[in-house]
Copies of this chain bind each other. A is one copy, B any other.
């Protein structure tokens, strides 16, 4: 089970892009944190920073999607499951003392208008989250179009609450989002 230079570069990039955004994170910083030498960056990612960002966003998205899925599996009822998942996120956020950023969002906002490959990666990530919520709702008996619609809405709610919690430095918006999920899904 060897961890290659490539993997460590992506991990470091994911972390730093989340904390400081795309333009706020220099390649040198990523190299230092990953321990990889500069040469291998351009060996593994011939298209440079852009490619590294695309693959980092993909990895982050996959990771987050798994966490959502696992979170929702804790309860059978969709409403309780989603509410519980958001509460867990709020808890984790408080404990980490906010040493994690908001996944994807910073990169998406900085690049959406100017860098199509990165924008697409971010969009795919968001759609994969939404898909997980929609599936859970389907399993709980929501009809298809309603489940799809609510997948988007729940995703919006969580992203917004996360953004506000991150900016304020406390988890109140996440907790309130969780609390109001039942009303939204009735």
Contacts and interface: CB of A to CB of B under 8 A. Distances in A.
- Per assembly, the copies of the chain total 2
Interface string A120-162: 0011001000000000000000000000011011011111111
A21 B112 CA distance: 11
Nearest to A160: B160
Contacts of A122: 167
A156 B152 contact: no
Interface of A: 19-24, 98, 101-102, 105-106, 108-110, 112-114, 119, 122-123, 126, 149-150, 152-153, 155-164, 166-169, 172-173, 176-177, 179-180, 183-186
Given A105-B163, A155-B164, 5 more contacts: A21-B24, A105-B105, A123-B168, A152-B172, A153-B176
